[in-house]
Structure 1
C-alpha cells in the first residue's frame, strides 16, 4: 500500500470555472492570505512585546493567532498553485498532510477556546485564587494539551486511512477534509469509531465544559455589581463570538462532507471557502476590536506621529 499511497494523485473537483477566473481567484486568495498574516502577526507581536499582556487570556489569544498563521501558510500556497494550473491535482500523501493540518489546528482552536473559558471562569468566579490556579505551569499544560491531543488523535486516523484502498480519485472540494473518506473503496468501521471518539474528545466534551463554565459565570455576574458585569462582558463576548463561529464552521464542514451532492457546485465552493477564510481572518479582528487592551495598543500602533507628540 505504501507505493500506492505515495504515487496516487487525487483530482480536486471543487473549483468552478478556474480556467476563466484563475487570476481572479489568485488575487482574492492572495489578498486574504496577506490580511490573515498581517492581522494575526500584529496580535501576536503586540502580546509578545507588551508585558501587561503576558497573562493567560492573551497568551491563549496569541496561540489562536499562531494556529491561523500556520494553518493558512500550509494551505494557501497549494491553493495559489491550483488556481493557476490547468489541472488541479494533489498527491495522496500530501492530501493526508492537508487533512492532518486542517483538523489538528481546527481542533486545537476548540481546545484553546475551552482553556480560555476556564481562564474566564477562574478570573470571574474565583478572583482571589486566580494567580495561584492560572500559573505559568497550568498555562503550559493547557497549551501542550491543545496542540498535542489533536495531533495524536488525527495521526491515528492518518495511519488507518493509509491502509485503505482507493476506488475514487476525484475529491469534490479544493482541499482535503473529511471528504477523503469517500475516496475509499469501502467504509471502515474502525475509522468510523475512531472518528466518533475524536469528535467526542475534541468537540463534544469541550463544548459541554464551555457551557458549564459560562453557566457559572452568568450566575456569578448576575448577582454582582454593574462594574463586574461590564468587565465580564468585555472579555467574554469576543470569546463567545469566536466560539460560535468555530462551531458553526465545523458544522458546515461536517454537512458539506456528508451532503455535498445535495448542493450546487458554486454553493459548495462558497461554503468551503468560508471554512478556510473566516476564522483565520475573523478571530484577530474580533479580538482587536473587542478586547480593550489590545484595541488600545492597535490604536497607538497606527496613530499618526503628530498625535503621539501631542
Structure 2
C-alpha cells in the first residue's frame, strides 16, 4: 500500500466532465435531495427512539435500516456537492478507498437488513406465540450488529486486497470511488485474480441473501392469503418491506446490468444517473414508504403535527 501511495497520492474523478453548464442546477437539486433524505430519515429515527410504544423488534430494525441510509448518503453527497462547486474533481488515495468502503458496505448492509426484516415478518406471522421469545431484545441487537459489521468486514477485505495493487492510472471514470474501477487500473491484470475470487464470493453471499428474502416472502404470501387475519397482517406490515425490497433490487440490478452490459457510447450524464440511483432512491424512498404504510408511525407523526399546530 505504501508503494502505491508513493506513486499515486490522488485520484481524478471524471464523471462530471460533461456537466460544466449545469453545475448550479445540479448543485441545487442534489442539495435539496440530500436535505430531504436527512429530514425523512432523521424524523423516522427520532420518532421511533422517543416513542416507547415503538420499541418493538420491527421498528428497531427499521430505525437501524434508516440509520444505514444516512450512513450511505453521507458517504456520497458531501463529496459530490463539493465537486459540483470545485473546478477540479480530485480525492485523496486514502479518501477514495474510504469512500468505496462506505458506499459498498452501505449497499450490502441494506440487503442484510432486508433479509433480517423478512425473517422478523416470517416469525411474526408464522410463529406468533413464540415471536417475543425468538425476537428478544438481545437477538435483535445481534441481528443489527450482523447487518452492519458483517458487510463492513467483507467489503473491508475486498478494499484491503485492492489497496495492495500497483496502479498505473489515477483517473476514475465515475462520480465517486468504485472498487471494481480501481481494480481495473491495476498495472498487472494477473495480480487481480485474488480480488476477483473474493469479489465473486462476496456476490454469492449477497445473492444468497436475496434468494432467502424472495423465498421468505413467497412462503409468507402462500400462508397469509389462506387466512383473513394473516392477510390483514401481511398487508399492514409486509407490504412496506416488499416495496423497499423491489426498490432496492431494481436500483442494484439496473446498476449491475449497466456495469456488465452498458455501452461505452452512453452519455456520461446517463451513466451518472444510473450510478447514483442506489445511493439516492432507497435512502429517500424507504422512510417515506414505512412512514405512510405503517399505521403506528403514521399516526404518531400525524399526532405530533396536529399537536404542534394547536
Task: Indicate the TM-score class for this superposition, using the shorter chain for normalisation.
Answer: over 0.9
Q: Describe how 1:11-50 pairs up with structure 2 within 5 A.
A: 11-50=12-51
Structure 1 pair 17/262, CA: closer, same or farther in 2 (3 Å)? closer
Q: Deviations over 1:7-27 (max 9, x none)?
A: 522111111544322222211
Q: Give me the whole-angstrom Cα distance separating, in 1, the residues matched to 2:177 and 2:94.
A: 11
Name the counterpart of 2:240: 238
Q: Give me the whole-angstrom Cα distance separating, in 2, the residues matched to 1:186 and 1:234.
A: 54
3-state SS of 2:264 partner? helix
Structure 1 pair 276/211, CA: closer, same or farther in 2 (3 Å)? closer
Q: Describe how 1:296-307 pairs up with structure 2 within 5 A.
A: 296-303=299-306, 305=308
3-state SS of 2:11 partner? strand
Q: Deviations over 1:88-127 (max 9, x none)?
A: 1112221111110001111111111101000000000011
Q: Which range is displaced more, 39-48 or 152-161?
A: 152-161
Please tell me whether the aligned partners of residues 101 and 156 of structure 2 are also in contact (alpha carbons under 8 angstroms): yes
Q: Is the counterpart of residue 199 in structure 1 residue 203 in structure 2?
A: yes
Name the counterpart of 2:60: 59
Q: Describe how 1:1-310 pairs up with structure 2 within 5 A.
A: 1-5=1-5, 7-177=8-178, 178-187=180-189, 188-201=192-205, 203-225=206-228, 227-258=229-260, 259=262, 261-303=264-306, 305=308
3-state SS of 1:176 partner? coil
Q: Give me the whole-angstrom Cα distance separating, in 1, the residues matched to 2:211 and 2:183.
A: 28
Please tell me whether the aligned partners of residues 260 and 268 of structure 1 are also in contact (alpha carbons under 8 angstroms): no
Q: Give me the whole-angstrom Cα distance separating, in 2, the residues matched to 1:185 and 1:254.
A: 24
Stretches of structure 2 that go unaligned for 5 or more consecutive residues are none
Q: Which range is displaced more, 127-136 or 295-304?
A: 295-304
Q: Give me the whole-angstrom Cα distance separating, in 1, the residues matched to 2:162 and 2:290.
A: 37
Q: Give me the whole-angstrom Cα distance separating, in 1, the residues matched to 2:93 and 2:268.
A: 23
Structure 1 pair 297/265, CA: closer, same or farther in 2 (3 Å)? same
Q: Give me the whole-angstrom Cα distance separating, in 1, the residues matched to 2:91 and 2:306.
A: 45
Cα RMSD (Å)? 1.7
Q: Give me the whole-angstrom Cα distance separating, in 2, the residues matched to 1:109 and 1:60.
A: 11
Q: Deviations over 1:126-177 (max 9, x none)?
A: 1111111111111011111111111111111111111111123221210112
Q: Give me the whole-angstrom Cα distance separating, in 2, the residues matched to 1:155 and 1:65.
A: 22
Please tell me whether the aligned partners of residues 5 and 162 of structure 1 are also in contact (alpha carbons under 8 angstroms): no
How many equivalent residue pairs?
305
**1:218 deviation in Å?**
1.7
Q: Give me the whole-angstrom Cα distance separating, in 2, the residues matched to 1:207 and 1:232.
A: 20
TM-score, with length taken from structure 2: 0.93
Stretches of structure 1 that go unaligned for 5 or more consecutive residues are none
Structure 1 pair 175/4, CA: closer, same or farther in 2 (3 Å)? same
TM-score, with length taken from structure 1: 0.93
Q: Give me the whole-angstrom Cα distance separating, in 2, the residues matched to 1:263 and 1:76.
A: 24
Please tell me whether the aligned partners of residues 16 and 269 of structure 1 are also in contact (alpha carbons under 8 angstroms): no
Q: Give me the whole-angstrom Cα distance separating, in 2, the residues matched to 1:77 and 1:168.
A: 25
3-state SS of 1:142 partner? helix
Q: Give me the whole-angstrom Cα distance separating, in 2, the residues matched to 1:294 and 1:82.
A: 37
Structure 1 pair 260/137, CA: closer, same or farther in 2 (3 Å)? farther
Please tell me whether the aligned partners of residues 75 and 103 of structure 2 are also in contact (alpha carbons under 8 angstroms): no
